């Protein structure tokens, strides 16, 4: 595991996000190191997705700074938004595949936008990304509406990988999947993480995924983030964290991983 | 900038990879891959030592190019610190290569006949579905007689407001303007014969018999037919209709019938308004352009009209209303799967309902002539 000596991929400092009178983030700090899988958890309405949107530069925070690879996201978003978005890949909660394009066209969409390569190469790249996420070749010509939930998540991941980012954001990648598909997705993530040397930031509610894949976890409590390893989280005395990691569901997930 | 250089002769080949090998350089790399010779024999060593930042996509493209060499005669090896994902890509490629058996297309004549057959069958299925849909609506209305609650009065009122009251301004304006145009053109032609007064006949008969109801129906088809399809379509996408069914509530009863009934009630009323506005427009134009006073206009109007003229227009309104509402709601219920379907079927709803309205109008015209109505 990379220690604090190497520069952080993501550094968030003193982040404040407000919606009207409601303060969602109140001085949130976060650092993500290269080549780790970082899990973000928190109760409903604690602003996990808002944090993600802020890091991506899709939302301007009320205060605080967000840096990706040492560069201020707000500055990047204003000056060179295209190179900003090329530095990361994102999958959204419901896949967010463009419904009028088939899977291959969805994967090729960002490639067409940035590079002028031939149709043959585009087809090969689509096939590569499908192969990386473990989708069969005939998935290429299917439309998003014809895919199962697990395939949608994989296709969205393939699209996120198409620009070869080193940093991957996943918003609830296993939500709505059956346990077997979810477990398969966890394995896929670990495989890609090791093979492609990705840094992964993932929002998840799935304790199994958390225990299987994440090296560190950040919990949003009272607008701030508590960051620790999973073992550290299990010893934490904060009531919400204790409830979260020691509920009946958590104990079952823990047993599988450690027992 | 060169990304690759082939050196060697006979059976001993070296491929030197150099410079930028990231995804951004893929266009140049592709061009240089294409000029590699078609066949090579012996051994080929790819030297990665001077390639910078190799991207997965570029390496993948190289592997595909190398795969075009006959593997029986060429032994490909990699040296000089190849990218860490090379092995992964080689595995994936081997997997895909095996799976890449192209399906054979059927002969074209067979395919065309097949297409025609499928189309005919689909039309048959569609016709049955339309009939089924109509039957369900009639059943619900039939059941409503002993059980008036099934008519959903509050939702009926909402649709009457949305499709009727809010349409009054646009329907009035268009009826007024069109009848002014007809009167204006009519006046120009008829004044050549000194038959100015017959402008009144022209305007009143055309507005009351045809244009009032037809224009209203077309406007309503554009406004409400599309709204019906889109509203119900979105509910379909959200699985709301399935939820209703699962609660034992018939979606036809709560979604379709109120819309159909509302339009059947509203369209005749809108037609009356359109008729009135049309006559007002005609009256105004004859007053200003032909200097025919209003008293003479109303006198001539009564002369020109047969007792049935007004009814010949109005009687068509409920039929048009039913066509528009049924096409709109039917297309809405057909939406499945995606946002694209929603857009397509909403368009289909508007185009088809206008088509059916005009077709029905033509049939009415023939019928009225036959029975001298």
Cβ B340–A99 below 8 Å, yes or no?
yes
Residue from B24, B57, B344 to probe the interface with A (highest A Cβ count within 10 Å): B57
Q: Are residues B149 and B79 in the same domain?
A: no
Q: Are residues B161 and B297 in the same domain?
A: yes
Q: How far is B85 from chain A (nearest CA, A)?
A: 6
How much is the pLDDT for A75? 82
Secondary structure (H, E, C), B122-161: HHHHHHHHHHHHHHHHHHHHHHCCCCHHHHCHHHHHHHHH
* Angle at alpha carbon of residue B181, lines to B176 and B184, rounded to 5°: 120
How much is the pLDDT for B98? 66
Cβ A124–B85 below 8 Å, yes or no?
no
* B114 within a domain of the structure (yes/no): no
* B111 within a domain of the structure (yes/no): no
Q: Sort out which chain A residues have CB atoms less than 8 A from B95's CB and list them.
A: 131
Q: Where does residue A59 rank: exposed (0-12), middle (13-18), buried (19+ CB within 10 A)?
A: middle
Average pLDDT for chain B: 88
Cβ B57–A125 below 8 Å, yes or no?
yes
B103 pLDDT tier (thresholds 50, 70, 90): low
A to B CB pairs, distance under 8 Å: 60
**What is the distance, to the nearest Å, from the Cα of residue A234 to the centroid of all Cα atoms in its chain?**
23
How much is the pLDDT for B104? 55
Q: Where are the alpha helices (DSSP H) in A56-178?
A: 73-79, 81-86, 103-114, 119-132, 149-161
* B77 within a domain of the structure (yes/no): yes
B279 pLDDT tier (thresholds 50, 70, 90): very high
How much is the pLDDT for A2? 43
* B108 within a domain of the structure (yes/no): no
How much is the pLDDT for B99? 60
How much is the pLDDT for A3? 46
- Does residue A69 belong to the interface with chain B, where contact is any CB pair within 8 Å? no
**pLDDT tens, B162-212?**
999 999 999 999 999 999 999 999 988 988 888 888 888 999 999 999 999
CATH number at residue B82: 3.30.750.24
Nearest by CB to residue A164, choosing from B27, B55, B64, is B55
Q: Where are the beta strands (DSSP E) in B314-373?
A: none
Nearest by CB to residue A143, choosing from B23, B64, B338, is B338
Asked if pLDDT for residue B257 goes beyond 70, the answer is yes
Report the predicted TM-score, pTM, of the whole model to 2 decimal places: 0.69
Q: Sort out which chain A residues have CB atoms less than 8 A from B89's CB and list them.
A: 128
* B42 within a domain of the structure (yes/no): yes
Q: Which residue has the higher pLDDT, A255 or B288?
A: B288
Domain limits for position B27: 4-99
- Does residue A75 belong to the interface with chain B, where contact is any CB pair within 8 Å? no
Q: Are residues B150 and B262 in the same domain?
A: yes
How much is the pLDDT for A256? 64
Lowest mean pLDDT among A23-37, A221-235, B65-79, B342-356: B65-79
Cβ B26–A117 below 8 Å, yes or no?
yes
Nearest by CB to residue B23, choosing from A116, A118, A163, is A163
* B115 within a domain of the structure (yes/no): no
Q: Which residues pair with A227 in a beta bridge?
A: A218
Q: Are residues B252 and B352 in the same domain?
A: yes
Q: Are residues B92 and B142 in the same domain?
A: no
How much is the pLDDT for A146? 87
How much is the pLDDT for A255? 66
Q: What is the ipTM of this complex?
A: 0.78
Report the number of distinct structural domains present in chain B. Answer: 2
Asked if pLDDT for residue B264 goes beyond 90, the answer is yes
Q: Are residues B235 and B341 in the same domain?
A: yes
* B72 within a domain of the structure (yes/no): yes
B53 pLDDT tier (thresholds 50, 70, 90): confident
Q: Are residues B290 and B239 in the same domain?
A: yes
Q: Are residues B93 and B171 in the same domain?
A: no
Cβ B95–A117 below 8 Å, yes or no?
no
Question: Which residues of chain A register pLDDT less than 50?
Answer: 1-3, 259
Q: Which residue has the higher pLDDT, B65 or B359?
A: B359
- Does residue A113 belong to the interface with chain B, where contact is any CB pair within 8 Å? no
- Does residue A98 belong to the interface with chain B, where contact is any CB pair within 8 Å? no
Which tokens belong to B341? Answer: 């379907």
* B107 within a domain of the structure (yes/no): no
Q: Are residues B239 and B339 in the same domain?
A: yes
Cβ B89–A128 below 8 Å, yes or no?
yes
Q: Sort out which chain A residues have CB atoms less than 8 A from B339's CB and list them.
A: 99-100
Q: Are residues B361 and B238 in the same domain?
A: yes
Q: Where are the beta strands (DSSP E) in A20-102?
A: 22-32, 37-41, 63-68, 71-72, 88-91
Cβ A128–B24 below 8 Å, yes or no?
no
Q: How far is B113 from chain A (nearest CA, A)?
A: 24
Cβ A131–B96 below 8 Å, yes or no?
yes
How much is the pLDDT for A1? 44
Query: In terms of CA atoms, which chain B residue is nearest residue A148?
Result: B337
Find tokens 């990231």 and name the residue. B22
The secondary structure of residue B106, as a DSSP letter, is P
Q: Which residues pair with A90 in a beta bridge?
A: A169
Q: Taken in order B66, B69, B71, B76, is the CA torsion positive or negative? A: negative
- Rounded distance between C-alpha atoms, residue A231 and residue A229, angstroms: 5
Residue whose C-alpha is closest to residue A56's, from A69, A30, A80, A74: A74
How much is the pLDDT for B105? 59
Q: How far is A121 from chain B (nearest CA, A)?
A: 7
Q: Are residues B187 and B275 in the same domain?
A: yes
Q: Are residues B260 and B365 in the same domain?
A: yes
| Percent residues over pLDDT 70 in chain B | 97
């Amino acid at each position: 595991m990379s220690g604090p000596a190497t520069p952080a991929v993501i550094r968030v400092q003193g982040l404040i996000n407000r919606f009207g009178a409601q303060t969602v983030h109140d001085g949130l700090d976060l650092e993500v190191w290269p080549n780790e899988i970082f899990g973000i958890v928190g109760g409903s309405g604690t602003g996990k997705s808002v944090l993600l949107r802020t890091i991506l530069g899709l939302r301007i925070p009320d205060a605080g700074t967000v840096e990706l690879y040492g560069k201020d996201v707000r500055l990047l978003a204003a000056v060179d938004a295209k190179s900003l978005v090329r530095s990361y890949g994102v999958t959204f909660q419901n896949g967010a595949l463009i419904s009028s394009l088939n899977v291959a066209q969805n994967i090729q969409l960002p490639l067409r936008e940035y590079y002028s390569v031939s149709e043959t190469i585009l087809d090969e790249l689509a096939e590569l990304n499908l192969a990386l996420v473990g989708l069969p070749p005939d998935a290429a010509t299917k439309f998003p509406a014809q895919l199962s939930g697990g395939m949608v998540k994989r296709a969205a991941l393939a699209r996120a990988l198409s620009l070869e980012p080193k940093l991957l954001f996943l918003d609830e990648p296993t939500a709505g999947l059956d346990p077997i598909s979810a477990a398969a997705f966890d394995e896929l993530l670990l495989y890609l993480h090791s093979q492609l040397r990705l840094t992964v930031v993932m929002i998840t509610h799935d304790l199994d995924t958390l225990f299987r894949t994440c090296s560190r976890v950040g919990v949003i409590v009272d607008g701030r983030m508590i960051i620790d390893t999973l073992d550290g989280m299990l010893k934490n005395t904060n009531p919400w964290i204790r409830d979260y990691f020691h509920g009946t569901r958590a104990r079952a997930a823990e047993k599988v991983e450690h027992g | 900038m060169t990304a690759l250089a082939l050196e060697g002769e006979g059976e001993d080949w070296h491929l030197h990879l150099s410079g930028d090998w990231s995804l951004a350089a893929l266009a140049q790399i592709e061009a240089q891959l294409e000029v590699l010779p078609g066949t090579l024999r012996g051994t080929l060593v790819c030297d990665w030592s001077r390639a910078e930042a190799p991207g997965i996509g570029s390496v993948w493209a190289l592997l595909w190019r190398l795969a075009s060499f006959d593997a029986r005669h060429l032994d490909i090896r990699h040296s000089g610190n190849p990218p860490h994902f090379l092995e992964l890509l080689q595995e994936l490629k081997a997997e895909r290569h095996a799976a890449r058996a192209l399906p054979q297309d059927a002969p074209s004549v067979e395919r065309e006949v097949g297409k025609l057959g499928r189309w005919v069958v689909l039309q048959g299925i569609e016709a049955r579905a339309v009939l089924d849909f109509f039957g369900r609506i009639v059943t619900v209305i039939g059941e409503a007689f002993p059980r008036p609650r099934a008519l959903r009065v509050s939702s009926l009122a909402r649709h009457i407001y949305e499709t009727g009251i809010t349409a009054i301004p646009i329907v009035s304006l268009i009826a007024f303007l069109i009848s002014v145009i007809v009167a204006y053109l009519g006046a120009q032609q008829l004044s050549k014969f000194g038959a100015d007064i017959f402008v009144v006949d022209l305007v009143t008969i055309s507005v009351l018999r045809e244009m009032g109801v037809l224009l209203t129906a077309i406007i309503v088809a554009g406004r409400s037919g599309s709204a019906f399809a889109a509203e119900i379509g979105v509910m379909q996408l959200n699985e709301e209709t399935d939820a209703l069914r699962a609660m034992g509530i018939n979606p036809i009863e709560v979604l379709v019938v109120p819309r159909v009934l509302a339009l059947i009630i509203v369209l005749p009323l809108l037609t009356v308004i359109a008729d009135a506005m049309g006559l007002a427009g005609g009256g105004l134009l004859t007053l200003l352009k032909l200097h025919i006073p209003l008293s003479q206009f109303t006198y001539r109007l009564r002369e020109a009209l047969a007792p049935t003229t007004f009814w010949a227009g109005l009687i068509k309104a409920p039929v048009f209303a039913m066509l528009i509402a049924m096409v709109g709601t039917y297309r809405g219920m057909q939406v499945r799967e995606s946002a694209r379907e929603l857009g397509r079927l909403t368009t289909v709803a508007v185009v088809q309902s206008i088509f059916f309205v005009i077709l029905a109008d033509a049939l009415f015209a023939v019928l009225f002539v036959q029975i001298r109505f």
